Structure 1
Amino acid sequence: MIEIIAIDTPSLGDRSYLVSDGTTAFVVDPQRDIDRVLGLAGARGLRITHVFETHIHNDYVTGGLALACATGAAYHVNGADPVSFERTPVEDGDVIDVGPGMRVRAMATPGHTFTHLSYVLEAPGRSSAVFTGGSLLHGSTGRPDLLGPAHTGELVKRQYASAHRLAEVLPDEVEIYPTHGFGSFCSASQSEADRSTIGREKQVNPVLTQDERAYVDELLAGLDAYPAYYAHMAPANLAGPAAPDLTDPATADSAELRLRIEAGEWVVDLRSRTAFAAGHVVGTLNFGADGSVATYLGWLIPWGTALSLLGDTADQVADAQRELARIGIDRIEAAASGTPEMWSGDAPLGSFPRADFGELTLVRHHRPVTVLDVRRNLEWAQNHIDGALHIPLHELLDRLGEVPAGEVWVHCQAGYRASIAASILAAAGHLVVAVDDEFDRAASAGLRMAAD
Structure 2
Amino acid sequence: MTATILTLATESLGDRSYLVHDGEVAFVVDPQRDVDRVLAMADEAGVRITHVLETHIHNDYVTGGFGLAQRTGASYHVNADDPVSYERVPTRDGDLIQVGSMTVRAVHTPGHTFTHLSYVLEGERPAVFSGGSLLYGSTGRPDLLGAEHAPVLARHQHASAHRLAELPHQTVVMPTHGFGSFCSATATTADATGSTIGQELRINPALTQDEEEFVEAILAGLDDYPAYYVHMGPRNLEGPAEPDLSSPARADKAELRRRLDAGEWLVDLRTRTAFAAGHVPGTINLGLDGQFSTYLGWLIPWGAPLTLLGSTPEDVAEAQRELVRIGIDRPAAAATGEPREWTDGPLATTPRATFGDLALVRHHRPVVVLDVRRASEWRDGHVAGATNIPLHELVDRIEELPEGEVWVHCAAGYRASAAASLLARNGRRVVHVDEAFTEAATSGLELEAA
TM-score w.r.t. length of structure 2: 0.98
2:215 aligned partner, one-letter code: V
1:55 is aligned to 56
The one-letter code of the counterpart of 1:342 is E
Q: Which residue of 2 aligns with 1:423?
A: 421
Partner deviation per Cα, 1:116-142 (whole Å, 9 max, x = no partner): 00000113xx32110000000010000
1:178 to 175, 185, 189: 175
User: Unaligned regions of 5+ residues in structure 1, if any?
Assistant: none
Show CA shifts across 1:214-261 (max 9, x none): 111111121110000000000000000001100001111111001011
Amino acid at match of 1:383: G
For residue 341 of structure 1, report the CA deviation from its aligned partner: 0.4
1:33-432 correspondence to structure 2 within 5 Å:
33-99=34-100, 101-123=101-123, 126-168=124-166, 170-190=167-187, 191=189, 192-344=191-343, 346-432=344-430
Uncovered stretches (5+) of structure 2, i.e. residues with no partner:
none
Spell out, residue by residue over 1:378-432, the C-alpha distance to the aligned partner (whole angstroms, 9 max, x if none): 1111111110011111110001111122210000001000000000000110000
* Distance in 1 separating the partners of 2:446 and 2:221: 25
Structure 1 counterpart of 2:112, one-letter code: H
Q: CA deviation at 1:189?
A: 1.4
Letter in 1 for 2:39: L
**Sequence identity of aligned pairs in percent?**
66
Alignment partners' CA distance in 1, 2:413 and 2:384: 19
Aligned partners of 1:51 and 1:352: how far apart in 2?
A: 47
Amino acid at match of 2:404: G
1:450 Cα offset (Å): 1.1
Distance between the aligned counterparts of 1:291 and 1:193, measured in 2?
19
| C-alpha deviation, 1:202, in angstroms | 0.2
Q: Distance in 1 between matches of 2:112 and 2:301?
A: 26
Distance in 1 (alpha carbons) for counterparts of 2:295 and 2:342:
23
Tell me by how many angstroms 1:49 deviates: 0.6
The alpha-carbon deviation at position 64 of structure 1 amounts to: 0.3
CA distance in 2, matches of 1:36, 1:92: 30
Displaced runs of 4 or more, over 4 A: none
TM-score (norm 1): 0.98
* Code of the aligned partner of 1:128: P
* Paired residue total: 447
Q: Give the distance between the partners of 2:24 and 2:108, measured in 1 at CA.
A: 29
Q: Which whole-Å CA distance do the structure 1 matches of 2:225 and 2:391 have between them?
A: 12
Query: SS state of the match for residue 250, structure 1?
Result: coil
Name the SS of the counterpart of 1:443 in structure 2.
Answer: helix
Structure 1 residue 314 displacement after superposition: 0.9
3-state SS of 2:135 partner: coil
- 1:195 maps to a residue whose letter is G
RMSD after superposition: 0.7
Report the 3-state secondary structure (helix = DSSP H, G, I; strand = E; otherwise coil) of the residue aligned with 2:431.
strand
Aligned to 1:173, the other structure's residue is in SS state coil
- Give the stretch that moved more between structures: 31-40 or 41-50: 41-50
